[in-house]
């Protein structure tokens, strides 16, 4: 197991929800699979939290305000200690990701992704910027490289399909859609779509 390509811990919440939990230093990233009609009871914690639906849909409850969230179009943000929960209203499995970390910010909202351009690849993307994060969805064409770069913010990324070659500080991995990469602040990283298909990359700057 490596710091840059962490393994996940499988957690069953016992109510039809399975989490794949990755620890990235001060940040927890998780994929959630939510069975039809399953409900995640309202809870609160010290970390701020954000998340997005990848497949299916979820009703997000942020302090009693309920929003039906559709895949890949919106992000929810819950500030520290805000009561939040979710339920799957559909007769199909929903998958989502969530990210939790301690921040000084107090942002609670539902934010929409908008057309943008990725500053590293110059590819068109969809993105959303919050007070403590930026999330982009980028379609990487076959054969397209992601140039070597580093930034003040840490970066967590994953792909929705195919395989993507990622190198972080000379450690190379062929990433599939079950895995994530974690590039800490100021650590050089790059990528390459060596496959013959378009790959959807979701990257989160924190």
- Residue ranges binding Fe ion (CB under 5 A): 49
* Contact between residue 169 and residue 188 where contact means Cβ atoms under 8 Å apart: yes
Q: Which is nearer to Fe ion, 49 or 121 (CB)?
A: 49
Q: Tell me how far, at minimum, the Cβ of 98 lies from Fe ion, in Å.
A: 7
Q: From CA 125, how far away is CA 130, in angstroms rounded?
A: 16
Q: Which is nearer to Fe ion, 49 or 88 (CB)?
A: 49
Q: From CA 117, how far away is CA 86, in angstroms rounded?
A: 31
Q: Tell me how far, at minimum, the Cβ of 3 lies from Fe ion, in Å.
A: 24
Q: To the nearest 10°, the Cα dihedral for 180, 153, 61, 37?
A: -10
Q: From CA 41, how far away is CA 184, in angstroms rounded?
A: 32
Q: Tell me how far, at minimum, the Cβ of 172 lies from Fe ion, in Å.
A: 33
Q: Which is nearer to Fe ion, 111 or 123 (CB)?
A: 111
Q: Which is nearer to Fe ion, 60 or 168 (CB)?
A: 60
Q: Which is nearer to Fe ion, 21 or 72 (CB)?
A: 21
Q: Tell me how far, at minimum, the Cβ of 144 lies from Fe ion, in Å.
A: 35
The residues facing 117 across adjacent strands are 124
* Contact between residue 42 and residue 172 where contact means Cβ atoms under 8 Å apart: no
Q: Tell me how far, at minimum, the Cβ of 24 lies from Fe ion, in Å.
A: 16
Q: Which residue's Cβ lies closest to Fe ion?
A: 49
The single residue listed with the structure tokens 């969805």 is: 137
Quick one: 182 exposed, middle or buried, by C-beta within 10 A (0-12, 13-18, 19+)?
Answer: buried
């Amino acid at each position: 197991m490596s710091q840059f390509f962490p393994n996940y811990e499988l957690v069953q919440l016992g109510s039809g929800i399975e989490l794949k939990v990755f620890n990235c230093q001060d940040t927890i990233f998780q994929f959630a699979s939510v069975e039809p009609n399953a409900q995640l009871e309202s809870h609160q914690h010290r970390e701020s939290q954000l998340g997005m639906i990848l497949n299916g849909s979820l009703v997000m409850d942020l302090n009693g305000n309920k929003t039906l969230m559709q895949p890949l179009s919106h992000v929810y943000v819950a500030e520290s200690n805000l009561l939040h929960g979710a339920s799957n209203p559909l007769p199909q499995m929903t998958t989502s990701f969530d990210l939790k970390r301690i921040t000084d910010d107090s942002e609670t909202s539902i934010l929409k992704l908008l057309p943008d351009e990725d500053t590293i690849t110059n590819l068109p993307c969809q993105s959303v910027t919050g007070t403590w994060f930026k999330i982009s969805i980028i379609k990487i064409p076959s054969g397209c490289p992601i140039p070597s770069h580093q930034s003040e913010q840490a970066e967590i990324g994953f792909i929705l399909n195919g395989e993507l070659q990622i190198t972080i500080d000379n450690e190379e991995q062929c990433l599939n859609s079950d895995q994530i990469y974690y590039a800490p602040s100021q650590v050089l990283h790059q990528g390459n779509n060596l496959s013959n298909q378009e790959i959807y990359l979701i990257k989160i700057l924190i």
